[in-house]
Amino acid sequence: MSLPRPLVLLACVAVLCAAEQGLSIAATKPSALYEPKEAITWSVKATGEGAVAMDKVAWQAKRGGAQLIGSGSLDLSAGPGTISVTLDEPGTILVEVTAKAAVAGQKDMKALGGAAVAPRGITPSLPPPDDFDAFWKAKLEELAAVPANPVLEAKPSERSGVAYWQITMDNIRGSKIRGQLARPEKDGRFPALLVVQWAGVYGLPKAFVTGDAAGGWLVLNLNAHDLPIDQPAEFYKQQGDGPLKGYTAIGNDDREQSYMLRMYLSCARAVDYLASRPDWDGRTIVVTGNSQGGLQSLVTAGLRPERITALLVNVPAGCDNTAADAGRAAGWPNWIHAGSGKDAAKVHATARYFDGMNFAARVTCPALVGMGLIDTTSRPDGVFAAINAIKGKVETVVMPAYGHQGRHEAYYARFGAWKAELLAGRPAPVR
């Protein structure tokens, strides 16, 4: 398969087990990357005690996680079975195999398999709105009209050689940006690292910044919400169960009222703040995050392309919100389905202004992107569509047997290599 940008591939077997029994599925081609019309096959086998009893294993294969392109059943009592499908055009396939537990009281079993066909040809479900750039230009002007007024409160870093502060800045419409800042305690000028957070409502442990600061970075870590960062766990639980429950759906039918508006603009302001500090080295600002943090990172690099020098994201969420328009399954935050009783057309229209895929098309810096082919939270079609839109050089770490969770060793190996080079002031080691 000829690809203009190299893909780093992790070949391993996805196994979801239920106690003594389990199912495993793996693409017979370790990369799980295929050409159109090429036969795509997975080997399925039973594992654990009672495996020989698995004579009724059902399977379904769905293009883009939504469109059924094949189904059937397997008898695994005599050994592994094979699933085979084809796809004539660029896209991804998600296969689900299920079996009833042979032992009473055990859970039914399920395993997922993935594949991608000509992934560099996967395109957005819809183009950006015609006034996408004009809208965000106006929002950045609204932000610029509000002085940042940074307030720093020094706190013990709890790590030798590291200086630490909690930081608050002003944001649009009376809201606040809250986070934490750390750097080496010695005098000097340092490359900057902006760390943005995955979904949920929680505080920010100091370790999110102090480790990288000890290594030589000027690190700013943002809370996605206008909340203090160091409260007891019960405080965040109350917020998450109360006013911030389902926060992504707040205002999701009005681009001026979307909850994500202040979140996105807080990222742009964070970059401006780092660039204003006398202890910044004047060259390097890297933005990184996972899941919702990956989405915010794409947004940041898209809103501040002149400032961001590298983008490092894993399983970025919020890409291709309108996936259903292309017959694909959408992932988190499931904009189109969030908020019963709202005008579906308005929700659909608003989602396009906050789609990570549309910001990706404004990204000009080198990017490292990790993704899983069985990820049902950050759907691979949306991630590929975003990757394909980035204008800078991209290194993609495709993990065929991984979903949204997991150690993602292949991505983090490259993540560490990229950070080491960028910290040293060398170019991103895109491969």
pLDDT digit string (tens) for 342-369? 899 999 999 999 999 999 999 999 999 9
**CB contact at 8 A, 404 and 374:** no
Q: Is the pLDDT of residue 88 over 90?
A: yes
Report strand pairing: 57-63 vs 40-48.
unpaired
User: Average of pLDDT values for 140-144?
Assistant: 98
**CB contact at 8 A, 305 and 365:** yes
CA distances from 286 to 93, 155, 277, 410 (A): 33, 24, 15, 20
DSSP code, position 354: T
Amino acid at 321: N
Closest CA to 44 of 79, 86, 94, 9: 79
Q: Range with the lowest mean pLDDT among 73-82, 367-376, 381-390? A: 73-82
pLDDT for res 410: 97
At residue 399's C-alpha, the angle toward residues 27 and 310, to 5°, is 155
Burial classification of residue 226, based on how many CB atoms lie within 10 Å of its CB (0-12 exposed, 13-18 middle, 19 or more buried): middle
pTM value? 0.93
Q: Name the fold adopted by 7-121.
A: Immunoglobulin-like (2.60.40)
Give the pLDDT band (50/70/90) at residue 338. low
* Tokens 């006013």 sit on residue: 243
**CB contact at 8 A, 293 and 195:** yes
Highest mean pLDDT among 3-17, 101-115, 256-270: 256-270
pLDDT for res 106: 75
**CB contact at 8 A, 323 and 348:** no
pLDDT in tens, 206-248: 999 999 999 999 999 999 999 999 999 999 999 999 999 999 9
What is the separation of C-alpha 328 from the centre of its chain, rounded to a whole number of angstroms? 18
Q: Domain 132-423 is classified in which CATH homologous superfamily?
A: Alpha/Beta hydrolase fold, catalytic domain (3.40.50.1820)
- Within the chain, which residue ranges are assigned CATH 2.60.40.1930? 7-121
- Within the chain, which residue ranges are assigned CATH 3.40.50.1820? 132-423
Q: Decide: helix, strand or coil at residue 17.
A: strand
Q: Is the pLDDT of residue 128 over 50?
A: yes
Q: Is the pLDDT of residue 2 over 70?
A: no
Q: Is the pLDDT of residue 323 over 60?
A: yes
Pick 364 or 54 by higher pLDDT.
364
* Tokens 């750039």 sit on residue: 133
Distance, CA of 91 to CA of 264 (rounded, Å): 29
Assign 3-class secondary structure to 133-175: HHHHHHHHHHHHCCCCCCEEEEECCCCCCEEEEEEEEECHHHC
pLDDT for res 107: 81
Q: Is the pLDDT of residue 339 over 90?
A: no
User: Average of pLDDT values for 175-204?
Assistant: 98
Pick 306 or 17 by higher pLDDT.
306
